[in-house]
Each structure stands twice: as structure tokens, then as C-alpha cells.
Structure 1
Amino acid sequence: MSQSTSIPKKQQRVRDHGFDNYMEIEKKMRKVLKFQSLILSQYNQTLPISRLDNLAGRLGFKQFEAGAFILKFPHVFEVYEHPVQRVLYCRLTRKAINQIMQEKEALLAQIPDAVTRLRKLIMMSNEGRLRLEHVRIARYEFGLPDDFEYSVVLKYPRFFRLVDAIETRNKYIEVVDRDRKLTVCAIEKVREREYREKGMDAEDVRFKFMVNFPPGFKIGKYYRIAVWKWQRVPYWSPYEDISGYDLRSIEAQKRMEKRAVASIHELLSLTVEKKMTMERIAHFRMAMNLPNKLKGFLLQHQGIFYVSTRGNHGKLHTVFLREAYWKGELVEANGLYLARRKLCELVLLSSRKANVDRGLVRYRRDIEEDEMEHFRRDCAEDGFEGGKEGKEGEREGDLNLDLSCDVYSDFTDEVHEDDDVDDIEKAENAQLNRQRSESQICIRDARISKLYGIGVLQGRLHLTGKLLVLQVARVVSECRRSLTFIWLLLPCLLSSYQN
């Protein structure tokens, strides 16, 4: 192969921490998904803690490791005590159950898109068919349901056909009709957008791939020239039938090499998250004419793909499509991807926040009990039954009667006072009683409104948590200031005491 139009094979591998951190989170999510499937397979979707170590050993956990793992994610798993048996059980939280339901709804909603992706995937093969087992292994990446053999393949006989191969005794999925509209690759749409928006030269964009090297990748002069020449090399489309071409020439080998890059690019573009493990890509190697040494081939094009070894102690290699991600997030996110990322959000939530939420719930319940106790006490004092108001005139009459009795008892011995003075005193006492009754009514109404306002607090627990944290921080800062002040004054006090 000519060095002028080929990229050097031996290159220094540069890590991209954005993709590696993404895979570290994926490693946690993979274990969480295993535990979820284990709990959902049990009776009543609950798992006794006594059986946790025995069942978790099937998932690759060591002894006493499963319990510590569950306690790390309190927003996904919940440990509770059975009210009758007094035995600890583990179950999924309400947030985790809602996430599973949302993912199922998103999976069913995008079935038509999954049918299109499966049609394009089969059309990329040489013979127009793929093994059913290979597609089943990669069904999660392509957004296919677990029963896709019945809900997708057999449900759409105008698109797919299930065939039993006699020579290999394997089942194959064949495409019935090759639609010309589906033979447009994802990279061709990107080139068209680049040509329209940036106004680039048509000859430069015609066979170009979007290259974005990782940070720290050293690009030399000759390497830059080799990449520029390689971008101009023509190639056959992954959907094109190449059985009639002579592939022995050097020019044909160059085209086949670039066609392999386009095939892997299109394969990753058909996935939901624009990533796939190298081991699952290798299942389609024979059907799509991919190179045997797949890892070295992908490392040769680090500007287009990124191979991450994080996630399974270096045993698992995940291939990312670099142009589909920006700062660790998918650029064009779909509904299924967003539903899956909600589980990632639950995994990343801190366990401290879960404890704060539980404390806030208890704090809210204590407030409700205190408010109800104050309300009942006020109702008993004011003569209310079951929280219902009586007549205001009767309440004022009782108060006036009590106070008037006190007034008359004070002035019984003064029989020589004038009648006008008695009238003035009565008027003042009546006005005072009226003011007291109005103040009591205002206090009662305020407590009632505060009691009814507790329902609003239930929907704003996060705001209450923030206020509680701010109050605690303020108290801690004040304590620190006072201790610092005492520490500074302590030498002066000791010196004055010695003098």
C-alpha cells in the first residue's frame, strides 16, 4: 500500500478522559441493571437480604459485596423491614420503577425506527442476510425489544423473512426488498450539511470523514499530509454490492480499507447511543468485510473512532463515534437514550441527599402534628367542635359576660360612684373584649392557613432541603466565629488573671 495515500498504522494511543469517564459510569449502570433484573425476576419483585449473597454470586459479586453495593445507591434500591415477618427485604424505589416504565414506553414508541435500523443493518451485509443470534446479542444497542423475533421480524413480513440454513443449522434474517431510499449513509448527510452551511469545495467534501483528534494527540507534518490525501480517496458505499469488482489491485484495496471505515461508521450510526463494543462489532466482520485485526484498524483512525478499555478491567473494548458526542453527551439524543440516562442520574445521586430527603419527610410530619395539636387546642378553647366555627356573636357574648362579671365584682363596694363613670367603663371594657376576640380570630385563621399550606410544602421539599442546609451552614459559621473569638481572647484573659 502506498504511503502517500495511507495513514501510518503504528500510532501512539491517546486517551480521551471524557469517554473514559462515560464508561466508568456505564460500569456502575451495568451492575445496577443486573441487580434490577435479579429483583424483578423474584416473587413480588422483592429479594430477602438473607439470600442476597447467594444470588449475587451468580452476577460476579464476592461475599458480602452485594449488600455494600446496594447501600451505595439508595435512589435505586430500598432496604425495608417486613411488617409481619420482621425480615429485611430489598426492592426497587419508586424512582427506579418509573424509570423502567419510561424506558419501556420509549422502546415501544420507537419500534418503527428500530425496523428501519434493522433493515439498513441487513442491507449492509454481503448476502442480504444476518444471523439471528448475532442480532439478538446486539439488540440492546440497536433499540430492539427482547422479543424482536416476533414483535419485529415476524410482525413485518413485507420487510423481513426468517430462514433456516440447512448447511449451518442457524437461523438468518433476510431482507425482502432493498429500498433505494435507505441506502443513504449517515456520513453523506453530514457532508451535505457541511457543504451547505460552510460552503466547502465539493471535491474536498465528497469522500471526507469528520476528523476530531483527542486532546494531546500529536499531529506531525507528514501525518497531516497523509490524512489529507486519504480523505480524497474514493470508496464504495457500504450498501453497494461489490461482488462483481476485482479486488486484487492496489487501488481496490485502498477503496476496501476506506469502505471498512465507512461500514463501521454506519454501523455505529445505527445504534441508539452511537457506541458499541468491539466484540459485538466482530460478529458482523464476515458479513460486512471488516478487517481481522479490528483493534489495530480502529486505532489507526483515532480521529473518527475512540476505543475505550474502561468498564471491565480492560477486557471490554467500547468503540465510540467521536462526531456524535460533545463533552461526554450525545449531540442528537433520542427518547430511548434520554430514558436510559435517567437511570444514570439516579446512580450518580448522592446517598447523603437520600438521607436528607428522608429527614425532611420526618421534619414535615412533625410540623403537621404540631400544627394539628395547636389547631385542636385553639378549637377547644374557642368552643369549636371538629374544627368548625361557631357563631361569632355567641363567642363575643361569652367573652363580654366573663369580663363584665369581673368589672361588676370590682366595683360592687363603690356604691357612691356616678352612673356616667360606669357607662364609660362598660364601653371601654366592651371595646377591649372586642379587640381580644378579633386578635384570637386572626391567630386562629393564621394557623388554619398555615396548616393548609403544608400541602404546598409537600411539592417543594427540595427548596426546604436547601433552606435547611443553609440554616445549618449559618449556625456552623456562627459557632466557628464565636470559637475563634474566644480563642483570641483567651491569652488576654489569662494574662489579666495572672496580673
Structure 2
Amino acid sequence: MPVFLSFTAKLLKPKTTSTTTLNTVISFTGYHNLIFPKHMSQKCTSIPKKQERVRDHAYDDYMEIEKKTRKVLKFQPLILSQYNETLPISRLDMLSRRIGFKNHEAGKFLLKFPHVFEIYEHPVKRILYCRLTRKAILQIEQEKQALDAQIPDAVTRLRKLLMMSNTGRLRLEHIRIARSEFGLPEDFECSVILKNPQYFRLFDADDTRNKYIELVERDNSLAVCAIEKVRERDYREKGIDEEDIRFSFIVNFPPGFKIGKYYRIAVWKWQRVPYWSPYEDVSGYDLRSLEAQKRMEKRAVATIHEMLSLTVEKKLTLERIAHFRLAMNLPKKLKEFVLQHQGIFYMSTRGNHGKLHTLFLREAYRKGELIEPNDLYLARRKLAELVLLSPRKMMMDRALVSFGQDREDDRMQRVRRVYEGNDFDKYGVEENAGGVGNGEDDLNSDLGSDFESDSSDDDDDCDEIIGAEQGACVSK
């Protein structure tokens, strides 16, 4: 046999391999598609890693309004910090550069919101000034009162936030950045932390030189998630099966989201996967197994859900959630992770030129409004209402008010002239009878337009008074 044919026969000769070796080759070399083609392989029932974001216009419109109010909130402390809470327009451009406005952009911005900002001329200096309107000042006072009234709730929210961390401590700077969302005042370090030494403790880290807030003692009565309360309420009121609701979340997909058969099955299976509570310490568990990883992934969903539930408006930017990623065992790629659960959360990119990703809790909103509003949320929404009011309405109101005042003043002046006998010389009243007749005609023609709407009795009374005074003049 030729050498070439013998070499070819050796290559084509089947080799005996064990089952273990074959399974090893399949699992490590990725030959699964060669043995089981794609049209014959079973569909995967896990939630897909990559999902396209489907827009929900109700949340996007909410963010469009907040984009305007965010700029307004930058101007308010700038004006209130000035002497007499007024700011000259000549200094407006210079000071507005500190808050991110360009040249001649701040003045145009203030003119868009006349219900919030008022531009007037100084009565002595004769230069233009700007100040906040009365409605805007009342809104600030209402928000401050609501913020002070809910400080006990803010203390509870901060305690629960610290309980979700691995070590029971968080950086003070991360809390300060997100203080508005969690309903904490600007001086929360003194009014919340230092005034409650039985709950919190401040200390400086030796290695990083950063300030941290530490929880003094854990309270197990607070270790109840918001979703657990919703499950208990639905179980008692609606009578849902315990096995279906035990580890499930409220899922409400946005309109236009395509839900296939296998995706629906995957969500149903994911809802039944058990997980550890965000308030539970998982340091003692072995997290290397596949089952532990599934539980940790669902625990991350529960952690983000609980963080959004602790906020005032049930929303928080993804960038601020990332500050707590290491302390709460959240995944690195938060954006992709959130997109896997669009039925629970909604991520909006509106506002700040798409640089911020605002995360909403879908179950807390209906048609772009919070289902269970609080006083602080309502006070902040009043500012949005002032921003949305049309400038034309303000101009029309001012025109109607000024028109009514001018007309009333002019009317009263003319009536006053009728009752004062000394002013009849300007209407041509003379000492002789002929002069009196001419003056009376001029007077009646001058006052005719103003007294057309009056009753006939009033006209007769005025004629009698005028005639009596004219007779007195003639007799003299």
C-alpha cells in the first residue's frame, strides 16, 4: 500500500474514547452546537442578560419637568443669599456662571418663569432687580416645614439604609450627595446624626481619611422590606397562593414591551427563586455555588427595590446607587442589570443631556404620579406647577389688574370732580346763565361715557346736585 494511502487510512480510523472524555470535550471546547443544532436545542428559560430599553412616556415627561425645576433650584439659593433677597441684573451673569449658565443665558431663563422670578425696577436707583415671587417663597416655606416635620421618618430611613450595608457603616459623603432623595435636611449631620447618638456614630477612617456613619445597634423590628409588606397585604386581601407570592415582586411591563412565551416562563421561574433579605448578613454563606449566585442576584434586585422605597419620591439616579455598590454587594454593570428587570424598575435618561440615569420604582407610580404621596413630595410638586404655568397667563393677569386699577382710579377722579364745586371753572362754568348752559353740556358730554352703566336714579341725583350748585353760582 502506498505511503499516502496508509497515512489517510490511519486518519480515518475511528478512535475509541470513553464517555467521560467525550463529555469533557463537549463542556470545555464548546461543541454543543455541533452535536445539538440550534433548531433542535431547548430554549433557555433564564431571563436574558441583554434587553432593549422600552420607553415609557409618563416617566420621561416627569423627568422633562424635573429638568426645568432642577435649574430653578440652582437660582433660588443664589437669590436668597443676597442682601434683602434681591439681586441686580447687572451681577446676574457673573454669578450664574458658577451654576453652569453661559453669558446672557440667565436673564432669558428667568423671563421664562414669571411665576417664580420677578424682575422689577428699583424706585430710587432706577436699575433692574430680580427676586422670588410670593408664590415661590410660600412654596419654599411649605417645603421647609414638611422637611422638618418628617425628620423622625428620615432617622428611620437612615437606620434602615445602614442596616443594608455589609459592615453597618456608610461614607458620610455618599449620604450627603443623596440627602434630598432620602428626605434629609442640609444640616443632617447635626440635626439627625449628632442629635441621635443612640442610633448613629461618626468616625474618621484611618486608611482613607474619610468620614463614616456607623450604626450603633441593629433593630430587628426594622428589618422588614417594603415588598414583604405588599406581599402580606396581597395575600390577605386577594388570597393569592402562598407559593406564588412568597418570593415574588410586582411586575408591570411598560407599554410596547414584547413578552414572548419563553420569556414569560423565565419570569415565572425567576419569581419562585428564593433569596436572602437585604437586611440579612450573608458573610457566613458559601457564595461559590450556582444556587447561591442566583440568590445573590435576586437579593440585589431586592436591595435596589428597598433603596427606592426609602426615598421620598420613590426614584434615585443610577449614579448615586453606584456609590453604595460595594457596601451592599451590588453588581458592577448596574445599567445592564437593571434592564433585565424592566417590569420592576424604569430607567429614564431624560434630563441633564442624558448624563444621568434616573431609576423609578414602577409599582409606586401610576400615569406619572406617585400613588401614595407625602407632604414633602406635594410641596416639591408645587414648584413644578409654578414652572409649568404659562408666562402669557402672568402677563394677562397683570394687564387685567392694572387695567382695572387705572379705570377705577380715573372713574373716582371724575366723580370727585362732579361733587366739588370749585372745579367747575375748567368745564367753562361762568357767572351768567348762558355760560352755565355751555359748561353743563361739556360736563355731561365728558362724563357721559362713565355714567352709561349707572342706574337712572343715580343720574337724576347727580343732575339735581349739579343744578343746585349751578343755581347757586348764578344767584351769586
Rounded Cα–Cα distance in structure 2 between residues aligned with 1:71 and 1:63? 15
Pairing 1:223–2:263 present:
yes
Report SS of the residue matched to 2:353: coil
Partner of 1:37: 77
Question: In the alignment, is the contact (CA less than 8 A) between 1:3 and 1:226 conserved in 2?
Answer: no
- Structure 1 residues 322-341: aligned runs within 5 Å: 322-341=362-381
- Picking from 238, 256, 261, the partner of 1:198 is 238
- Picking from 74, 78, 81, the partner of 2:118 is 78
Letter in 1 for 2:274: P
Pairing 1:314–2:354 present:
yes
Rounded Cα–Cα distance in structure 1 between residues aligned with 2:170 and 2:146? 26
Deviations along 1:178-227, whole A, 9 cap, x unmatched? Answer: 11111110001111121122211011011110011111000000000000
Partner of 1:359: 399
Rounded Cα–Cα distance in structure 1 between residues aligned with 2:121 and 2:458? 46
Pairing 1:183–2:223 present:
yes
Change (3 A) 1:362 1:443: farther
Question: In the alignment, is the contact (CA less than 8 A) between 1:5 and 1:230 conserved in 2?
Answer: no
- Picking from 298, 304, 309, the partner of 2:338 is 298
Deviations along 1:284-342, whole A, 9 cap, x unmatched? Answer: 00010000000000011101111111101111111111111100001110000000010
- Structure 1 residues 249-268: aligned runs within 5 Å: 249-268=289-308
Rounded Cα–Cα distance in structure 1 between residues aligned with 2:331 and 2:70? 29
Question: In the alignment, is the contact (CA less than 8 A) between 1:4 and 1:229 conserved in 2?
Answer: no
Report SS of the residue matched to 1:161: strand
- Picking from 314, 320, 335, the partner of 1:280 is 320
Change (3 A) 1:204 1:122: same
Rounded Cα–Cα distance in structure 2 between residues aligned with 1:333 and 1:70? 29
- Structure 1 residues 68-147: aligned runs within 5 Å: 68-147=108-187
- Picking from 213, 236, 240, the partner of 2:280 is 240
Change (3 A) 1:5 1:156: farther
Deviation at 1:442, TM superposition (A): 10
Unmatched tracts of structure 1, length 5 or more? 382-437, 445-499
Pairing 1:211–2:251 present:
yes
Partner of 1:174: 214
Rounded Cα–Cα distance in structure 2 between residues aligned with 1:321 and 1:335? 19
Rounded Cα–Cα distance in structure 2 between residues aligned with 1:310 and 1:337? 20
Question: In the alignment, is the contact (CA less than 8 A) between 2:69 and 2:383 conserved in 1?
Answer: yes
Rounded Cα–Cα distance in structure 2 between residues aligned with 1:441 and 1:68? 52
Report SS of the residue matched to 2:284: coil
Rounded Cα–Cα distance in structure 2 between residues aligned with 1:357 and 1:73? 14
Partner of 2:453: none
The root-mean-square deviation of aligned C-alpha atoms, in Å, is: 1.9
Deviation at 1:439, TM superposition (A): 3.5
Report SS of the residue matched to 1:287: coil
Unmatched tracts of structure 2, length 5 or more? 1-41, 422-455, 463-476
Rounded Cα–Cα distance in structure 2 between residues aligned with 1:342 and 1:3? 51
Report SS of the residue matched to 1:152: helix
- Picking from 200, 203, 226, the partner of 1:160 is 200
Partner of 2:64: 24
Rounded Cα–Cα distance in structure 2 between residues aligned with 1:443 and 1:172? 84
Deviations along 1:244-286, whole A, 9 cap, x unmatched? Answer: 1111110000000000000000000000000011110000000
Rounded Cα–Cα distance in structure 2 between residues aligned with 1:159 and 1:150? 13
- Give TM-score scaled by structure 1 length: 0.75
Report SS of the residue matched to 2:352: coil
Rounded Cα–Cα distance in structure 1 between residues aligned with 2:278 and 2:226? 11
Pairing 1:344–2:392 present:
no
Report SS of the residue matched to 1:288: coil
Deviations along 1:406-461, whole A, 9 cap, x unmatched? Answer: xxxxxxxxxxxxxxxxxxxxxxxxxxxxxxxx9449979xxxxxxxxxxxxxxxxx
Question: In the alignment, is the contact (CA less than 8 A) between 1:106 and 1:335 conserved in 2?
Answer: yes
Which has the larger helix fraction? Answer: 1
Rounded Cα–Cα distance in structure 2 between residues aligned with 1:315 and 1:357? 38
Rounded Cα–Cα distance in structure 2 between residues aligned with 1:316 and 1:309? 6
Deviation at 1:364, TM superposition (A): 2.6
Deviation at 1:379, TM superposition (A): 5.2
Instruction: Among all aligned residue pairs of Structure 1 and Structure 2, give the percentage whose two residues are the same amino acid.
Output: 76
- Picking from 46, 54, 63, the partner of 2:103 is 63
- Structure 1 residues 306-455: aligned runs within 5 Å: 306-373=346-413, 376=416, 380=420, 439-440=457-458
Letter in 1 for 2:257: F
Deviation at 1:370, TM superposition (A): 4.3
Report SS of the residue matched to 1:313: helix
Change (3 A) 1:5 1:260: farther
Change (3 A) 1:219 1:366: same
Rounded Cα–Cα distance in structure 2 between residues aligned with 1:9 and 1:145? 39
Rounded Cα–Cα distance in structure 1 between residues aligned with 2:167 and 2:394? 54
Letter in 1 for 2:296: M
Change (3 A) 1:3 1:282: farther
Deviation at 1:376, TM superposition (A): 3.4
Report SS of the residue matched to 1:169: coil
Question: In the alignment, is the contact (CA less than 8 A) between 2:171 and 2:210 conserved in 1?
Answer: yes
Partner of 1:409: none
Letter in 2 for 1:20: D
Deviation at 1:73, TM superposition (A): 0.4
Deviations along 1:332-368, whole A, 9 cap, x unmatched? Answer: 1000000001000000000000001111211231243
Change (3 A) 1:119 1:3: farther
Report SS of the residue matched to 2:109: helix
Deviation at 1:375, TM superposition (A): 5.3
Q: How many residue pairs align between the two structures? A: 387
Rounded Cα–Cα distance in structure 1 between residues aligned with 2:209 and 2:92? 40
Change (3 A) 1:5 1:187: farther
Partner of 1:50: 90
Deviation at 1:40, TM superposition (A): 1.5
Deviation at 1:133, TM superposition (A): 0.8
